[in-house]
Amino acid sequence: MENLAPGTSLSNRFVRHGSKHSLAAIITVGGILFVAGTMANNDPLLAPLWLLGAVAGFTLQRSRFCFASAFRDLFLFGSSRMMRAIIVGLVIATVGFGINMHGQVPFPEFGVQPQEANILPFGPSTVVGGLLFGFGMVLSGGCVSGSLYRMAEGYIGSWVSIAGVLVGMGLLSQSWNWWWSTTIVNEPRIWIPANFGLGYGGGIGITLVGLLALFLIVLWWESRSGLSTVPMGRSERSEDTFEEKLSVFWNLFFVRGWPAAVGGAVLGVIGLMMYMTHMPWGVTGELARWSNGIMTLLQFPPPEALGLSDIGGCAGRSDETGIFTHTFAVTVGVLPGALVGALFSREFKLRFPQSPKRYVQALTGGIIMGYGAALAVGCTVGAFFSSVPSLSLSAWLFALALAFGAFVGVQVIKRLA
């Protein structure tokens, strides 16, 4: 895909990677490892989570992973490419999570739920949160995790989106107790294996069947759209010498974008490893913590959130104190990881939106998305990508609401070209 100028000799191509970009990338890797070393002094789980967060960021950048486009492109032009990639990751994580949860809670029917799994409230808050999040992510051009890694790639619009997310989360924090007493307090947290005598076999089986059905539906949907899959042209170059062979692998890993499905699979494994270390992947909790911190600095602290810490999931951990928390590790770690990917592939660039409209879209979409994420106690990562494998029914309702929200968002953004 990324054809270099004709006439450049292979050795020159390879040498070009030894540019200042690669040097900056290596320095960033050093920085990531240095921070990991500092973290290891206090808490044995912190450094592994930080490194996994960085690998997640690298993977997101390399595979140009985008939860927002997975939902949006289904309605915009019938493409199911990114949604299929997510499904690949979910299948892997579902089996892995199931085994890990079985270790914690061998008999699900006794009513005890695995502590760190993202089993979230199922009810009106899930629907409203999903609708708002789906609409907001399409309007702003990326979901929370997508905007985070694009911040590291130099997208100024994504910085604006995340600022909006912090504002939206703040608005929700101020009104959480209203939502809690109106609906969330009555919403069950439905863990599939604990119901209908399903157990782990049934819970995992039903989830996998659901994912297969989703796969077939989006594939059928794509076939109706007339979108053809284009064979991506392979460059014809000789691969004879050691240097040439090495260059091919280097390009495959560090320069060309990875196939989305590879990204999905790697993210599924990373999510599982994070869960095995401590908790499933999520990025909402850390941002909610910042939002609350900023409001406290501005003398406008949110009221004590009723019931939130019992829910678990990402936002349930937003009361952790100190800078280097587990949520910090898996959220902020994404940025340097993505930066490494952007530098090695020479895709780092400060990009300013040309039209003022785009700033308004990024900010407004971010605010709506932040409000939705805080309400649903998670984003496309915590309440969906980590929640489906947690065998939580809420994840499916959230995904359905996301799709509806994205559909409405598509109708709006088409008119904002």
Partner 1 sequence: MELDVRGEICPYPMLKAVQAMKNLKGSDNVVVITDHAPCLETIPPQAGRHGYSFQVEETGGAEWTITLSPLGGAQ
Residues 6+ apart with CB under 8 A from 22: 343, 344
CB of 89 to partner 1, least distance (A): 18
Q: Which two tokens stand for residue 2?
A: 């990324």
Check: CB of residue 173 under 8 Å from CB of residue 288: yes
CB of 131 to partner 1, least distance (A): 20
245 binds partner 1 (CB under 8 A): no
Taking the C-alpha atoms of residue 402 and residue 133, their distance in angstroms, rounded to an integer, is 6
353 binds partner 1 (CB under 8 A): yes
157 binds partner 1 (CB under 8 A): yes
346 binds partner 1 (CB under 8 A): yes
Taking the C-alpha atoms of residue 245 and residue 363, their distance in angstroms, rounded to an integer, is 46
Site string for partner 1, 322-341 (x = CB under 8 A): --------------------
Choose among 355, 332, 338: nearest CA to 141: 355
Check: CB of residue 156 under 8 Å from CB of residue 318: no
CB of 271 to partner 1, least distance (A): 22
17 binds partner 1 (CB under 8 A): no
Choose which of 358, 360, 364, 404 interacts with partner 1 (CB under 8 A).
358
CB of 262 to partner 1, least distance (A): 13
> Residues 185, 272, 81, CA angle at the centre, nearest 5°?
90
Check: CB of residue 125 under 8 Å from CB of residue 176: no
Taking the C-alpha atoms of residue 67 and residue 83, their distance in angstroms, rounded to an integer, is 8
Query: 3-class DSSP state for residue 394?
Result: helix
Q: Which is nearer to partner 1, 8 or 186 (CB)?
A: 8
116 binds partner 1 (CB under 8 A): no
Choose which of 18, 111, 230, 242 interacts with partner 1 (CB under 8 A).
230
226 binds partner 1 (CB under 8 A): yes
Taking the C-alpha atoms of residue 266 and residue 89, their distance in angstroms, rounded to an integer, is 7
Q: Which is nearer to partner 1, 231 or 322 (CB)?
A: 231
Query: 3-class DSSP state for residue 44?
Result: coil
Q: Where in 55-84 is the site for partner 1 (CB under 8 A)?
A: 64, 66, 69, 72-73, 76-77, 79, 81
Taking the C-alpha atoms of residue 254 and residue 256, their distance in angstroms, rounded to an integer, is 6
Q: Where in 274-313 is the site for partner 1 (CB under 8 A)?
A: none
Q: Which is nearer to partner 1, 142 or 389 (CB)?
A: 142
Check: CB of residue 311 under 8 Å from CB of residue 121: yes
CB of 314 to partner 1, least distance (A): 25
Summarize as ranges the residues that interact with partner 1 (CB under 8 A). 1-5, 64, 66, 69, 72-73, 76-77, 79, 81, 141-142, 150, 155, 157, 226-230, 232, 257, 260, 345-349, 351-354, 358, 413-414, 417
